[in-house]
Amino acid sequence: MIRVIGFIAGLLLLAGCQTTGSSPARAPSNVLKAHAVSFTSGDGTKLTGYLYKPAGTRPFNTVLMMHGCAGMLNKDGSMKARERAWLDILRGEGYAILLADSFTDRGFGSICRLRNRPVSPGRERPHDAYGALQWLQAQPFVRPDRVVLMGWSNGAMSMLWTVRRDAPQRPAGLERDFRAAIGFYPGCITIRREVEYYRAALPVLLQIGLADDWTKPKPCMALVDEANGRGGATMAYDAYDGAYHAFDNPSSRERTITTRHSAYKSGQRTVHVGTNAEARERAIMRVKAYLRQVFAD
Protein backbone atom coordinates (compact mmCIF):
# COMPACT_ATOMS: atom_id res chain seq x y z
CA MET A 1 0.00 0.00 0.00
CA ILE A 2 2.83 2.40 0.85
CA ARG A 3 4.43 1.78 -2.54
CA VAL A 4 1.12 2.42 -4.32
CA ILE A 5 0.60 5.70 -2.47
CA GLY A 6 4.16 6.74 -3.27
CA PHE A 7 3.65 5.91 -6.95
CA ILE A 8 0.42 7.93 -7.10
CA ALA A 9 2.08 10.85 -5.32
CA GLY A 10 4.87 10.78 -7.87
CA LEU A 11 2.36 10.88 -10.72
CA LEU A 12 0.56 13.82 -9.11
CA LEU A 13 3.86 15.66 -8.67
CA LEU A 14 4.75 15.04 -12.32
CA ALA A 15 1.33 16.28 -13.43
CA GLY A 16 1.71 19.36 -11.29
CA CYS A 17 5.08 20.12 -12.87
CA GLN A 18 3.64 19.73 -16.35
CA THR A 19 0.75 22.10 -15.68
CA THR A 20 3.05 24.78 -14.33
CA GLY A 21 5.22 24.78 -17.42
CA SER A 22 8.26 22.71 -16.59
CA SER A 23 10.27 20.87 -19.21
CA PRO A 24 12.26 17.67 -18.64
CA ALA A 25 16.03 17.52 -18.69
CA ARG A 26 17.48 17.38 -22.18
CA ALA A 27 20.25 14.98 -23.13
CA PRO A 28 23.23 16.70 -24.78
CA SER A 29 24.03 15.94 -28.41
CA ASN A 30 27.02 13.81 -29.32
CA VAL A 31 28.79 16.97 -30.46
CA LEU A 32 28.44 18.47 -26.98
CA LYS A 33 29.30 15.23 -25.22
CA ALA A 34 32.78 15.46 -26.75
CA HIS A 35 33.31 18.63 -24.69
CA ALA A 36 31.64 17.45 -21.48
CA VAL A 37 33.44 17.60 -18.13
CA SER A 38 32.18 16.87 -14.65
CA PHE A 39 32.58 19.13 -11.63
CA THR A 40 31.09 19.27 -8.16
CA SER A 41 28.95 22.20 -7.08
CA GLY A 42 29.65 23.70 -3.69
CA ASP A 43 26.39 22.12 -2.49
CA GLY A 44 27.72 18.66 -3.42
CA THR A 45 25.74 18.18 -6.65
CA LYS A 46 27.61 16.58 -9.53
CA LEU A 47 27.17 18.81 -12.58
CA THR A 48 28.21 18.84 -16.21
CA GLY A 49 30.05 21.60 -17.99
CA TYR A 50 31.19 21.99 -21.59
CA LEU A 51 34.81 22.93 -22.02
CA TYR A 52 36.41 24.65 -24.99
CA LYS A 53 40.02 25.73 -24.95
CA PRO A 54 42.56 26.99 -27.47
CA ALA A 55 45.19 24.67 -28.84
CA GLY A 56 48.32 24.34 -26.75
CA THR A 57 49.12 23.70 -23.12
CA ARG A 58 50.01 27.16 -21.81
CA PRO A 59 47.68 28.55 -19.14
CA PHE A 60 44.84 30.61 -20.62
CA ASN A 61 42.60 33.42 -19.49
CA THR A 62 39.23 31.78 -18.93
CA VAL A 63 35.53 32.67 -18.94
CA LEU A 64 32.90 30.72 -17.02
CA MET A 65 29.45 31.09 -18.64
CA MET A 66 26.13 30.66 -16.79
CA HIS A 67 22.92 30.18 -18.77
CA GLY A 68 19.48 31.68 -18.19
CA CYS A 69 16.22 30.16 -16.94
CA ALA A 70 15.64 28.39 -20.28
CA GLY A 71 18.69 26.21 -19.65
CA MET A 72 21.60 25.58 -21.94
CA LEU A 73 20.23 22.91 -24.27
CA ASN A 74 17.64 22.83 -27.03
CA LYS A 75 15.21 19.92 -27.26
CA ASP A 76 17.54 18.17 -29.72
CA GLY A 77 20.45 18.44 -27.27
CA SER A 78 22.28 21.18 -29.14
CA MET A 79 23.49 24.34 -27.43
CA LYS A 80 21.12 27.30 -27.42
CA ALA A 81 21.82 30.00 -29.99
CA ARG A 82 22.81 32.76 -27.56
CA GLU A 83 25.28 30.58 -25.69
CA ARG A 84 26.67 29.22 -28.97
CA ALA A 85 27.13 32.73 -30.34
CA TRP A 86 28.95 33.97 -27.25
CA LEU A 87 31.07 30.83 -27.14
CA ASP A 88 32.25 31.63 -30.67
CA ILE A 89 32.85 35.30 -29.80
CA LEU A 90 34.91 34.48 -26.72
CA ARG A 91 36.85 31.70 -28.41
CA GLY A 92 37.71 34.20 -31.12
CA GLU A 93 39.36 36.30 -28.41
CA GLY A 94 41.58 33.37 -27.42
CA TYR A 95 39.96 32.48 -24.10
CA ALA A 96 39.28 29.06 -22.62
CA ILE A 97 35.54 28.66 -21.95
CA LEU A 98 33.55 26.53 -19.53
CA LEU A 99 29.75 26.55 -19.85
CA ALA A 100 28.28 25.35 -16.56
CA ASP A 101 24.94 23.52 -16.82
CA SER A 102 22.99 24.03 -13.58
CA PHE A 103 19.80 22.27 -14.72
CA THR A 104 20.29 19.03 -16.64
CA ASP A 105 21.87 16.94 -13.88
CA ARG A 106 19.21 18.23 -11.48
CA GLY A 107 16.52 16.91 -13.81
CA PHE A 108 15.32 20.13 -15.45
CA GLY A 109 15.33 21.73 -18.89
CA SER A 110 13.73 25.17 -18.89
CA ILE A 111 12.31 26.56 -15.63
CA CYS A 112 11.12 29.90 -17.07
CA ARG A 113 7.46 28.91 -16.76
CA LEU A 114 7.67 27.39 -13.29
CA ARG A 115 6.10 29.57 -10.61
CA ASN A 116 8.16 27.90 -7.87
CA ARG A 117 11.57 27.44 -9.39
CA PRO A 118 13.55 24.51 -8.00
CA VAL A 119 16.98 25.98 -8.77
CA SER A 120 17.59 29.47 -7.43
CA PRO A 121 20.07 32.19 -8.47
CA GLY A 122 20.52 33.07 -4.81
CA ARG A 123 20.76 29.56 -3.42
CA GLU A 124 22.14 26.75 -5.62
CA ARG A 125 23.72 28.59 -8.51
CA PRO A 126 26.41 30.51 -6.59
CA HIS A 127 27.51 27.11 -5.29
CA ASP A 128 27.66 25.99 -8.93
CA ALA A 129 29.77 28.99 -9.89
CA TYR A 130 32.32 28.40 -7.15
CA GLY A 131 32.41 24.66 -7.77
CA ALA A 132 33.19 25.36 -11.43
CA LEU A 133 35.78 27.98 -10.49
CA GLN A 134 37.63 25.57 -8.22
CA TRP A 135 37.54 22.87 -10.91
CA LEU A 136 38.97 25.31 -13.42
CA GLN A 137 41.68 26.49 -11.04
CA ALA A 138 42.87 22.89 -10.68
CA GLN A 139 43.42 22.52 -14.43
CA PRO A 140 46.93 23.10 -15.80
CA PHE A 141 45.61 25.01 -18.84
CA VAL A 142 43.87 27.69 -16.69
CA ARG A 143 45.49 30.73 -15.13
CA PRO A 144 43.88 30.42 -11.68
CA ASP A 145 43.82 34.15 -10.98
CA ARG A 146 42.31 34.96 -14.39
CA VAL A 147 38.80 33.51 -14.51
CA VAL A 148 35.87 35.80 -15.30
CA LEU A 149 32.27 34.89 -14.48
CA MET A 150 29.70 35.77 -17.17
CA GLY A 151 25.94 35.18 -16.97
CA TRP A 152 22.68 35.90 -18.78
CA SER A 153 19.32 36.71 -17.17
CA ASN A 154 18.89 34.08 -14.42
CA GLY A 155 22.61 33.35 -14.82
CA ALA A 156 23.36 37.06 -14.42
CA MET A 157 21.27 37.14 -11.24
CA SER A 158 23.27 34.13 -10.06
CA MET A 159 26.43 36.09 -10.84
CA LEU A 160 25.30 39.02 -8.66
CA TRP A 161 24.55 36.71 -5.74
CA THR A 162 27.89 34.93 -6.27
CA VAL A 163 30.12 38.00 -6.22
CA ARG A 164 28.52 39.93 -3.38
CA ARG A 165 31.05 40.62 -0.65
CA ASP A 166 29.34 38.47 2.00
CA ALA A 167 28.16 35.61 -0.22
CA PRO A 168 27.74 32.53 2.02
CA GLN A 169 28.52 30.21 -0.90
CA ARG A 170 32.07 31.54 -1.27
CA PRO A 171 34.32 28.66 -0.14
CA ALA A 172 36.27 29.19 3.05
CA GLY A 173 39.93 29.64 2.30
CA LEU A 174 39.43 30.43 -1.38
CA GLU A 175 42.82 31.74 -2.48
CA ARG A 176 41.73 33.39 -5.73
CA ASP A 177 38.24 34.63 -6.47
CA PHE A 178 36.88 35.46 -9.91
CA ARG A 179 38.86 38.25 -11.48
CA ALA A 180 35.72 40.11 -12.59
CA ALA A 181 32.13 39.41 -13.64
CA ILE A 182 29.79 40.36 -16.48
CA GLY A 183 26.01 40.08 -16.49
CA PHE A 184 23.41 40.56 -19.21
CA TYR A 185 19.96 41.84 -18.11
CA PRO A 186 19.75 40.38 -14.58
CA GLY A 187 16.75 40.92 -12.36
CA CYS A 188 17.77 43.08 -9.42
CA ILE A 189 14.54 43.63 -7.46
CA THR A 190 14.94 40.62 -5.17
CA ILE A 191 18.62 41.08 -4.42
CA ARG A 192 18.10 44.77 -3.60
CA ARG A 193 15.25 43.84 -1.27
CA GLU A 194 16.98 40.94 0.47
CA VAL A 195 20.55 42.29 0.70
CA GLU A 196 20.26 45.62 2.45
CA TYR A 197 23.85 46.75 1.90
CA TYR A 198 24.91 45.04 -1.31
CA ARG A 199 28.58 45.47 -2.23
CA ALA A 200 30.53 43.58 -4.85
CA ALA A 201 33.68 41.66 -3.93
CA LEU A 202 35.14 42.14 -7.42
CA PRO A 203 34.57 44.34 -10.49
CA VAL A 204 31.23 43.89 -12.24
CA LEU A 205 29.89 45.06 -15.62
CA LEU A 206 26.18 44.86 -16.48
CA GLN A 207 24.61 45.07 -19.94
CA ILE A 208 21.02 46.27 -19.76
CA GLY A 209 18.19 46.91 -22.23
CA LEU A 210 16.18 50.03 -21.40
CA ALA A 211 13.03 48.54 -22.98
CA ASP A 212 13.35 45.32 -20.94
CA ASP A 213 9.97 44.56 -19.29
CA TRP A 214 11.02 41.14 -17.96
CA THR A 215 14.01 42.11 -15.81
CA LYS A 216 13.48 45.83 -15.50
CA PRO A 217 16.56 48.03 -15.89
CA LYS A 218 16.06 50.67 -13.19
CA PRO A 219 16.54 48.37 -10.16
CA CYS A 220 19.89 47.20 -11.57
CA MET A 221 21.00 50.74 -12.34
CA ALA A 222 20.11 51.68 -8.77
CA LEU A 223 21.93 48.62 -7.39
CA VAL A 224 25.12 49.65 -9.18
CA ASP A 225 24.93 53.24 -7.93
CA GLU A 226 24.16 52.16 -4.37
CA ALA A 227 26.90 49.53 -4.26
CA ASN A 228 29.50 51.96 -5.57
CA GLY A 229 28.43 54.46 -2.95
CA ARG A 230 29.07 51.89 -0.22
CA GLY A 231 32.68 51.42 -1.29
CA GLY A 232 32.64 47.92 -2.74
CA ALA A 233 34.50 46.83 -5.85
CA THR A 234 33.62 48.95 -8.87
CA MET A 235 30.36 48.14 -10.62
CA ALA A 236 29.32 49.64 -13.97
CA TYR A 237 26.53 49.26 -16.51
CA ASP A 238 25.77 50.07 -20.12
CA ALA A 239 22.12 50.69 -21.00
CA TYR A 240 20.80 50.37 -24.55
CA ASP A 241 17.80 52.30 -25.85
CA GLY A 242 14.99 50.23 -27.34
CA ALA A 243 16.54 46.89 -26.33
CA TYR A 244 14.31 44.14 -24.93
CA HIS A 245 15.33 41.15 -22.87
CA ALA A 246 17.72 38.83 -24.76
CA PHE A 247 18.72 41.66 -27.08
CA ASP A 248 22.09 39.97 -27.70
CA ASN A 249 20.60 36.78 -29.11
CA PRO A 250 21.99 36.46 -32.66
CA SER A 251 18.67 35.70 -34.37
CA SER A 252 15.61 35.97 -32.14
CA ARG A 253 12.58 37.75 -33.60
CA GLU A 254 10.91 40.33 -31.37
CA ARG A 255 7.88 38.69 -29.73
CA THR A 256 5.97 38.32 -26.45
CA ILE A 257 6.20 35.31 -24.17
CA THR A 258 4.56 34.37 -20.88
CA THR A 259 6.84 33.71 -17.94
CA ARG A 260 5.82 32.50 -14.49
CA HIS A 261 7.38 33.09 -11.10
CA SER A 262 6.12 33.12 -7.54
CA ALA A 263 7.63 36.58 -7.11
CA TYR A 264 5.09 38.07 -9.55
CA LYS A 265 1.88 39.39 -7.96
CA SER A 266 -0.29 37.54 -10.48
CA GLY A 267 2.09 34.58 -10.73
CA GLN A 268 2.84 35.24 -14.38
CA ARG A 269 3.82 38.03 -16.74
CA THR A 270 3.75 38.63 -20.49
CA VAL A 271 7.04 40.17 -21.62
CA HIS A 272 8.95 41.11 -24.75
CA VAL A 273 12.11 39.39 -25.95
CA GLY A 274 14.15 39.60 -29.12
CA THR A 275 17.32 40.65 -30.87
CA ASN A 276 18.30 44.29 -31.18
CA ALA A 277 21.09 44.29 -33.76
CA GLU A 278 22.57 47.66 -32.81
CA ALA A 279 22.56 46.98 -29.07
CA ARG A 280 23.97 43.50 -29.65
CA GLU A 281 26.88 44.83 -31.68
CA ARG A 282 27.67 47.54 -29.14
CA ALA A 283 27.49 45.04 -26.27
CA ILE A 284 29.85 42.64 -28.03
CA MET A 285 32.37 45.43 -28.53
CA ARG A 286 31.98 46.52 -24.91
CA VAL A 287 32.47 43.02 -23.50
CA LYS A 288 35.52 42.41 -25.66
CA ALA A 289 37.10 45.67 -24.50
CA TYR A 290 36.21 45.02 -20.86
CA LEU A 291 37.74 41.55 -20.89
CA ARG A 292 40.91 42.81 -22.52
CA GLN A 293 41.18 45.43 -19.79
CA VAL A 294 40.44 42.93 -17.02
CA PHE A 295 43.04 40.47 -18.29
CA ALA A 296 45.71 43.08 -18.95
CA ASP A 297 48.71 43.10 -16.65
- Ordered by start, the domain boundaries in the chain are 31-295
The total number of residues shown for the chain amounts to: 297
Q: Is the pLDDT of residue 294 over 50?
A: yes
Q: Are 204 and 177 in contact (CB under 8 A)?
A: no
Q: Are 110 and 71 in contact (CB under 8 A)?
A: yes
CA 30, CA 78: separation in Å to the nearest integer? 9
Summarised one tens digit per residue, pLDDT across range 155-180 is 999 999 999 999 999 999 999 999 99
Question: In which band, very low, low, confident or very high, does the pLDDT at 5 lie, cut at 50, 70 and 90?
Answer: very low
Summarised one tens digit per residue, pLDDT across range 29-59 is 999 999 999 999 999 999 999 999 999 889 9
Does 89 or 19 have the greater pLDDT score?
A: 89
Identify the pLDDT of residue 7.
41
Identify the pLDDT of residue 17.
40
CATH 3.40.50.720 for domain 31-295, yes or no, is no
Summarised one tens digit per residue, pLDDT across range 21-31 is 558 899 999 99
CA 125, CA 60: separation in Å to the nearest integer? 24
Average pLDDT, the chain: 91
Q: Are 160 and 227 in contact (CB under 8 A)?
A: no
Q: Are 114 and 79 in contact (CB under 8 A)?
A: no
